[in-house]
Chain A
Amino acid sequence: MSGDGRPPRIELRGVERIYDRGAADEVRALRGIDLTVGPGETVSIEGPSGCGKTSLLNLIGLLDTPTRGEVRWDDRPVGERTDRERARLRLERVGFIFQRFYLLPTLTARENVELPMRALGLGRGERRDRATALLTEVGLRGRERAFPHQLSGGEEQRVAVARALGNRPGLLLADEPTGELDLANTEAILTLLEKVRADRGASLLVVTHNPSVARRARRHLAIQDGRIVGDVREA
């Protein structure tokens, strides 16, 4: 049982996200977002700091719900689903590489990578094999037993990438997945993401400031001030 890694069809209609609504310092992070991402699409997202890129990924990745408007997964409004169902979808179908990594400090690199697989009910051997393969691919062979505080920023980021791929997700959300990496590692990670994506026909949304990362996508979104100001598809 390896989860249901089908790529979802995602639609956002009139989505707004306002943080701390009603407070004097409320933040309108997203406004009037209309967006459809079909299964298997690769999308880069660019925009200045604070424009709402992470907020957008959180909504698409079912971590958050919109203040106004509707987010649909496979034509079903996610607002209709319970917390438990959304959690199940995240576990089975989403691979989220968080901007801030979000590794668990009390678990080793290997345990961090195996954690979602364990929750999916994968057997011990299968978990070990997948984790070993992923950690090897991100260049962390031999560092499996290190705790996050014993890793460099770039190493932590690579553990986060490995963890996001263990469930063989249909939707990959990568929030600046190479922000901490040098050129060689960036290439390695991008190659890995592309390989996993292509294997499963998964969708990939990647937030990045790096042109060489953006170039690998077939569709390019530009965001400014919470609005989509550019949406270019390559032929």
Chain B
Amino acid sequence: MRLFGSGGHLRHQRLQTVLTIAAIATAVALPVVLLGVGGGVSSHELSNLQNAGYQIVISAAGLHGIANAHRLTGQLLALPEVAAASPVLSIAVDAFPPGKGAVPSLAEGVIPDQFAPTLGPTEDGLFPQPLPLGDPTDLVHYDNGTYAGPATYDVLVSSPFAQAYHLAVGSTLGLAPVPNATEAVPYSVTGVFGVPLGTLGQTGAFALLLPLSDLQVMTGYARGAGTPVVDAADSVEVAAAGAVSTEPGALAALQRQIQAMVPYYTVSTLSQQAAQLQTAASVLTGFYLALSSVGLTVGLVFLALVLLRRVESDRRSIGIRRALGLPPRAVVGPVVAEGLAIAAIGAVAGIVGGIALVDGLAAWGSGAVQEAADLAIFVPATMAELAGAVVVLALVAGGLAARSALRLDLLEALR
């Protein structure tokens, strides 16, 4: 059977056919993009969790973060099962590269000798060792909460940041909590670190790493002169010592022990977080599928309508086939084959188009869109299932059309 050729079946209603293929392709592209990107991002997050150098996280539910971060760190380190306890404070600040205006950046305040051991294998080699941020314990400047000790004024910049603003070790970089150059404090760049692909957004790529206390004081100024600085962190990452880190029972015991120390904070293990993430991801996948099935249904209802219309316009041909005594298969075969061809072309176009769209976004998109697109994973089995579902539904649509073709009154159809 010719579909598009001279006198072929699809030719006399080419526009309708093309539109139907487009509708199905769109309906298929939607889940391809959603599942590809969604699945890619969550599996990336999962692998981040699984590759982290720590096993337990202390976090605070509210906006205020974890108070007395330095003291808590000391208490945690006193436990024999704890190898490292790294408080992390993330705050958006403004950087002032020499001769440039304010550059929004993400600053992370850390305790240098605690931060390094919590790095996972994927971050291996991205940071200079040991971290060149002056005082490794950050206790000199902090000085028991008085912040009376000398600040280091050391900062590490991410490689994209260094590249964009021609910064190198020894350069000076002004930092301020607000986009106001007069408030900027001069820091000296003591190192450059790499950024693992796709972990951070556009602002994140312009990341800074500095001692926790320096960041606390700098951003504390924003609350007005004379206000006491709060020793806050967003979270504390805890790396367990030796066998405890790999033994679930021991890890759970450590988790309980820490929870007892900080009853007001959330203490969770990464495996719990991973499980949560997987639950969230599967909920999201279900949602994507539900959303996509709406799109698919619309596309296939469209297909069914087109096939029924075609039965209507091919009435005479169907009547002739029946008059000749052809078996039902030979009468409705062309109708069903046509539906299948349209659906298959649409499905392939949708899958190829969806993947191409995501590839395009990964290559030319910007910001978070590009990062997410970069992580997309297209599981061949999922794509095959999607195409299979379209073909099955097209068979149903074609079957409906075929049934109506066979029910026409024969003489009526021949007129």
Contacts and interface: CB of A to CB of B under 8 A. Distances in A.
Contacts of B327: 84, 87-88, 91, 119
| Interface footprint category on A | 20 to 34
A102 B414 contact: yes
A73 interface: no
B324 A116 contact: yes
A64 B317 contact: no
Contact of A105 (B7, B321, B325, B328): B7
Contact of B320 (A84, A89, A102, A149): A102
Contact of A89 (B2, B6, B316, B325): B325
Contacts of B326: 87, 91, 115-116, 119
Contacts of A102: 316, 319-320, 323, 414
Given A147-B6, A147-B7, A104 B320 contact: yes
| Interface footprint category on B | 20 to 34
Given A102-B320, A105-B317, A87 B325 contact: yes
A58 B411 contact: yes
B410 interface: yes
A87 B322 contact: yes
Interface centre among A91, A103, A106 (most CB of B within 10 A): A106
A119 B330 contact: yes
Interface in B303-324: 316-317, 319-324
Given A63-B410, A105-B317, A90 B6 contact: no
B414 A106 contact: no
A48 to B, nearest CB: 21
Interface stretch (A92-100, A133-141, A182-190, A205-213): A92-100
A53 to B, nearest CB: 15
Contacts of A106: 2, 7-9, 317
Given A116-B324, A116-B325, A163-B324, 17 more contacts: A63-B410, A84-B327, A87-B322, A87-B325, A90-B324, A91-B325, A92-B325, A96-B323, A96-B324, A102-B319, A104-B321, A105-B317, A106-B7, A106-B8, A107-B7, A108-B7, A115-B324
